[in-house]
């Protein structure tokens, strides 16, 4: 008998917390904390894309930065390819920096305006001692530009000479230059026109297939992650409130927050919530300095079964289907919802 075991995940995150201290006044000690990430757990397998979605300020970028040790987590465990990221010393961190890269929303801000694209890529290759001597690096730079769909002549040009989409391609080339396994794509297309968004997303998908990359793909819009993700995790106030394979999440969303987000996404096929129209969330996201008690979503929850218990009980992320989990104490009662207008 052959026993098949699941391969170990490339990235494993458990109970990740990042609390930013707020200092001020005459007291040097922190008076309060921004609970930016408040107990996030997930696994990411090789070659897979996890879409991380949620409104502005819910902790998506902080999660990505903590995983890459661009900021230090307050609590929790992060394992990359079996190694404890939080315990890494300088040489292990250097190896991590090669294997795990990031692409930001605004590549222009992270590109040196005084360096040509060729000089910038050459520097990265030199620092990481890749592609051999000068001519080897030159060859590799041309290969990288070609890989991301830029003309070879681009190497002699400066960042300001490129359009937004082209700059994002430069950002992708830089990330690829160190031959990573894993890339945090932090809203890589949010600043681009819709037509250009599709091109960059297609490029990222092609690269994933060709190079076997693993992505954590951050976006505030559920429509963007649908086409790139294998699984999606929805965040609200520093926590994951629902996670599922992409199809289940879009066809059978469970959490009232996910359902509200999805009802705002135009879709061709009929969906259960379409019958009920758009769910309009009232009020703003509460402050992560003093998040609501119980379920963090309860003050804005539209669910007819919402009651006192929702403000008292913090719902754990529980299984609601195959590989599908949601954090809502009302989900076990499968009731037909009354029509919503808006
Ligand atoms: N260095 C910092 N110091 C203090 N607070 C911070 C810091 N970085 C982020 N925060 C706060 O942590 C919370 C989460 O921020 P984060 O940038 O992770 O959100 P996000 O989901 O990426 O939002 P966006 O969609 O706007 O990029 C926010 O309230 C933010 O103001
Ligand atoms: Mg962000």
CA distance 50 to 288: 24
Nearest Cα neighbor of 231 from 253, 218, 220, 247 is 247
| Residue 270 included in any domain | yes
- The pLDDT tens digits for 292-307 are 999 999 999 999 999 9
| Residue 291 included in any domain | yes
At 166 the three-state DSSP class reads helix
Residues near ligand 1 with C-beta < 6 Å?
Answer: 20, 34, 36, 54, 56-62, 220, 288
- Quote the pLDDT of residue 279: 86
- The pLDDT tens digits for 232-274 are 999 999 999 999 999 999 999 999 999 999 988 876 665 555 5
| Residue 339 included in any domain | yes
- The pLDDT tens digits for 189-242 are 998 998 899 999 999 999 999 999 999 999 988 988 998 999 999 999 999 999
pTM of the predicted model over 0.85 = yes
Query: What ligand has the least distance to the C-alpha of 186?
Result: 2
Among 18, 19, 20, residue to substitute to test ligand 1 (most atoms within 8 Å of Cβ): 20
Tell which atom from ligand 1 comes closest to the C-alpha of 288. 29
CA distance 150 to 147: 8
- Quote the pLDDT of residue 342: 43
148 falls in which pLDDT band (50, 70, 90)?
A: very high
| Residue 264 included in any domain | yes
pLDDT exceeds 60 at position 85: yes
- Quote the pLDDT of residue 2: 61
| Residue 195 included in any domain | no
Q: Ligand 2 center to residue 293 CA distance, Å?
A: 24
| Residue 281 included in any domain | yes
Find the mean pLDDT for residues 16-33. 82
- Please tell me the total count of domains within the chain: 1
- Quote the pLDDT of residue 99: 96
The residue nearest atom 26 of ligand 1, judged by CA position, is 56
Quickly list H helices, the chain: 60-67, 90-99, 117-127, 134-147, 164-177, 194-211, 222-226, 246-251, 256-263, 308-312
The residue range of the domain holding 324 is 257-342
Q: Ligand 1 center to residue 143 CA distance, Å?
A: 36
């Amino acid at each position: 008998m052959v026993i098949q075991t699941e391969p170990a995940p490339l990235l494993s995150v458990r109970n990740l917390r990042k609390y930013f201290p707020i200092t001020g006044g005459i007291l040097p000690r922190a008076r309060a904390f921004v609970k930016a990430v408040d107990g996030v757990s997930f696994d990411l397998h090789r070659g897979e894309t996890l879409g991380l979605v949620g409104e502005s300020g819910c902790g998506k970028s902080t999660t990505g930065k903590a995983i890459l040790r661009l900021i230090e987590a307050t609590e929790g465990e992060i394992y990359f390819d079996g190694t404890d990221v939080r315990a890494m010393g300088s040489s292990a961190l250097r190896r991590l920096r090669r294997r795990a890269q990031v692409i930001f929303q605004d590549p222009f801000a992270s590109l040196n305006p005084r360096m040509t694209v060729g000089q910038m890529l050459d520097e990265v290759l030199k620092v990481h001692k890749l592609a051999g001597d000068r001519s080897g690096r030159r060859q590799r730079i041309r290969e990288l530009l070609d890989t991301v769909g830029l003309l070879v002549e681009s190497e002699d040009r400066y960042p300001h000479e490129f359009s937004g989409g082209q700059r994002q391609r430069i950002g992708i080339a830089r990330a690829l230059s160190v031959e990573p396994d894993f890339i945090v794509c932090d809203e890589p297309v949010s600043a681009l026109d819709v037509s250009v968004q599709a091109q960059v997303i297609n490029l990222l998908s092609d690269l994933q297939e060709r190079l076997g990359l693993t992505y954590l793909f951050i976006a505030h819009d559920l429509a963007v992650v649908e086409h790139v993700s294998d699984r999606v995790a929805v965040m609200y106030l520093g926590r994951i409130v629902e996670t599922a394979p992409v199809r289940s999440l879009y066809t059978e969303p469970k959490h009232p927050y996910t359902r509200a987000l999805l009802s705002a996404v135009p879709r061709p096929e009929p969906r259960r919530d379409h019958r009920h129209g758009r769910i309009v969330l009232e009020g703003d996201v509460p402050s992560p300095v003093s998040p609501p008690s119980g379920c963090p979503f309860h003050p804005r929850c539209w669910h007819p079964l919402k009651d006192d218990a929702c403000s008292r009980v913090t719902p754990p992320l529980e299984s609601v289907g195959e590989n599908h989990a949601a954090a809502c104490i009302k989900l076990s009662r499968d009731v037909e919802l009354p029509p919503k207008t808006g």
